[in-house]
Amino acid sequence: MDAQGRGQAGGIDPADQWVFDPDTGSYELRLDHAGEPVAASGNSPSAAPSPAPRSDARQGAAARQKPKPGGGRSVPGQRGTGGGRRAGAAKAATGRRKPKPKKTAKKKALMWTGGTVGVVLVVTSVGGYLLYQHFNNNIDKIDVGINNDAVTKGPVNILVIGTDKRSGDGNTGYGDDGSVGHADTTLLFHVSEDRTNATALSIPRDMITDIPDCPTKKGGSTRTIRGSKGVRFNESLGQEERDPGCTWRTVEQLTGLKVTHFMMADFNAVKKLSSAVGGVEVCLGKDIDDPKSHLKLSKGRHEIQGEDALAFVRTRHSVGFESDLDRIKLQQQFLSSMIRKMKSGDTLSNPKKLYNLADAATNSLTVDTGIGSVSKLTALAKELSKVNLKNITFATVPVVDNPAEGKNHKTVVLDKPKAEPLFAMVRQDVSLTEVKEKEKKAQEDADAKQAALLQGPKAEPAAVRVKVFNGSGRVGAAGETVSWMQNSKGMVRTSNGGNATGGKKDKTLLEFAPNQADQARRLAEAMGLPADALKQTEGTAAPTAEMTLTLGADFKGAGTPIAAPEKVPEGVQKVEADDDNICAK
């Protein structure tokens, strides 16, 4: 259709279909080809008479300049549609024929621009919807029986599971191509409540642990898969048809942290995501030629993607002691570098990379129903992006060789003296990068006052008198603590008060009189009580009166400090996400 010239397409100039409305100050699309002027008030145009033969171009101009009731300016009608009688009426009203105003190039350009923008908006809306649907259809979901909101106000704990399932092009060459998909790589990504810091805990796949019973939905029905005692952690997924919900519950039992969401990915995720961002930089401290992972790289820095990226995170026989713990170090280096690349301007300002990244991510991920759509994933990603890169730390859950296997060990067990303080730090949002949260002045004063209770002389252990009550929710906790105090700490004047009144308590609390402060300090030191666990009462206690210690849900066992340490325990493997000077050896 050619409607570019005057007199074509029914005499309609496309530019005249976009008319200026003085009441709104913008151009509007008018398709009333009959040529009836549109009132500026926005009322619908009246029915138009049959078009008269076109005899004079100036008649159309006069019709378009018909005065508006009340003396206001009318909205121009369309040219070339007849309207001779309206022109005559206009001439009778004014006594003369008004000259046709010339349309400036600027005005015509504005009209055409308005039309173009309108078309772009429509196309973009349709395209955006189709793109949204495309990404939505990419996402796989699993209902694990827990449906949390995409974004929560408190801390966020994302369970990231990498399976060893060999599905997908080119993946059958990596080991057991018949694997059902165990929890080969598992990270618990914890984001603090105030979003100032994050900690990613790597959980060794060969760690011996207990897997709890877990309900699993399949085919519209739910069945409970019985748990297992003393098995590898990676059996929490795949084995006995366990789904990610079983890994979810295993991690909660292990760490004491409540999981918010899970994301599961297979081998293809590493290949696709690394390629989507245009490669991920890694560093090697020596040449590597690993026939099992197919990684062959020289010493130094490399940008890897696709098959090379997968080979890098699968390698363990050419680094360190050739253990799964050494492979975890490579994975932490790779993930730190990929996060840096994703957050870089090179990626965020590149529409093609952003599309490829979104497409790869949604295609590679299986998630829980709480984040099972693009809009929910986007909301979660926006929340997590608040964390500064320099405040993200990767750490490995502390483990030791399994003593039950002797020298030829193949598995590891949790190193509780190091693991419990680490878990406590994460639970209490203590940043492993030692980032200090800003506190209000009133809170600082309260903390200082409370901390002062710990300052001063401490009584001898034998002089400590305390009755212990169990509000922890753990059976026998009070008796266990009294036994530990008497036998390990020399606090012989301690007693068991049984269960606490009112049931389970959130936090451990030690109550004492001012003249028992020295005893309280000794007990707080022995148990690792934080300042806010001490409560000084009024009045003076009798010489033989007992203090009251009520164990709360934060009590993890006699001898395990309740207060989170201010520094990471010695020997815990960790990597800072913004450290680009790490080279695998």
User: Given this model, what pLDDT does residue 5 score?
Assistant: 39
pLDDT for 500 beyond 50: yes
The domain spans of the chain are: 14-101, 104-138, 140-427, 441-551
pLDDT of residue 320: 63
Over 70: is that where the pLDDT of 62 sits? no
71-81 tens-digit pLDDT: 444 444 444 44
Query: Residue 478: which of 463, 489, 486, 467 has the closest Cα?
Result: 467
Q: What angle do CA 444, 256, 323 make, to 5 degrees?
A: 115
Residue range 477-498: mean pLDDT, rounded: 95
Q: For residue 34, what pLDDT band results from cuts at 50, 70 and 90?
A: very low
At 100 the pLDDT is 55
Q: Where do the H-state alpha helices sit in 296-403?
A: 307-314, 324-342, 345-348, 351-364, 374-384
Task: Please say if the pLDDT value at position 216 is more than 70.
Answer: yes
**Which of the pair, 94 or 299, is modelled with greater confidence?**
299
Residue 510, pLDDT > 90, answer: yes
Q: What is the pLDDT of residue 388?
A: 85
pLDDT at 71: 45
What does the pLDDT look like over 154-180, one tens digit per residue? 999 999 998 876 555 554 555 445 556
> What is the separation of C-alpha 370 from the centre of its chain, rounded to a whole number of angstroms?
12
3-state secondary structure of 204: coil
Contacts of 370 (CB under 8 A, 6+ apart): 146, 147, 148, 149, 150, 260, 261, 376
Torsion of CA 282, 285, 287, 291, to 10 degrees: -70
More reliable by pLDDT, 530 or 58: 530
Q: Is the pLDDT of residue 106 over 90?
A: no
Edge-to-edge order in the sheet of strand 261-265: 140-142, 365-368, 261-265, 156-163, 183-191, 198-203, 392-396, 574-576
Average pLDDT over residues 322-333: 82
Comparing 98-112, 302-316, 549-563, the range with the smallest average pLDDT is 98-112
Fold assignment, 441-551: Alpha-Beta Plaits (3.30.70)
Q: What H or E segment, with its residue span, contains residue 140?
A: strand 140-142
pLDDT at residue 333 in the model = 87
Task: Evaluate whether 498 touches 470 at the Cβ level (below 8 Å).
Answer: yes
Residue 180: predicted pLDDT: 60
Residue 427 contacts by C-beta under 8 Å, 6 or more apart in sequence?
A: 255, 256, 257, 564
Q: Taking the CB of residue 119, how many other CB atoms lie within 10 A of it? A: 10
Helical spans, DSSP H, in 452-580:
477-488, 517-527
What's the rounded Cα separation, in Å, for the pair 397 and 414?
8
* Beta pairing, strands 214-218 & 18-21: unpaired
Containing H/E element for 375? Answer: helix 374-384
Backbone angles phi, psi at 178, to 5 degrees: -100, 10
Average pLDDT over residues 42-61: 41
pLDDT of 540: 94
Distance CA 580, CA 390 (A): 11
Identify the pLDDT of residue 323.
74
Top-ranked range on mean pLDDT: pick from 64-68, 247-251, 309-313, 385-389: 247-251
Mean pLDDT of the region 202-227: 92
Q: What average pLDDT does the segment 52-74 reach?
A: 44
Give the model's pLDDT for residue 21: 58
Query: What is the DSSP track for 247-290?
Result: HHHHHHHHH-PPP-EEEEE-HHHHHHHHHHTT-EEEEESS-EEE
211: β partners: 228
Q: For residue 233, give the DSSP letter.
A: G
454 CB neighbour count, 10 Å cutoff: 16
For residues 191-216, average pLDDT: 93
CB-based contact 197:431 (threshold 8 Å): yes
Element (H, E) at 401: strand 399-401
pLDDT for 4 equals: 40
Q: Which residues contact 312 (CB under 8 A, 6 or more apart)?
A: 282, 293, 295, 297, 304, 330, 334
Taking 90 as the threshold, does the pLDDT of residue 545 lie above it? Answer: yes
**Secondary structure element (H or E) that encloses residue 443, with its range:** helix 441-451
Please provide residue 140's backbone torsions phi and psi, each rounded to the nearest 5 degrees. Answer: -100, 140
Report the C-alpha gap between 467 and 576 in whole angstroms: 44
pLDDT higher than 60, residue 221: yes
pLDDT for the residue 186: 92
Domain 140-427 is of which CATH architecture?
Answer: 3-Layer(aba) Sandwich (3.40)
Torsion over CA: 193, 195, 197, 203 (sign): positive
Q: Does residue 494 contact residue 464 with C-beta atoms inside 8 Å?
A: yes
Check pLDDT > 80 for residue 481. yes
- Residue 23, pLDDT above cutoff 90: no
The answer to which of 147-161, 270-284, 434-448, 541-555 has the lowest mean pLDDT is 434-448
Per-residue pLDDT tens for 515-539?
A: 999 999 999 989 888 888 889 898 9
Return mean pLDDT, the chain: 76
What pLDDT shows up at residue 355?
83
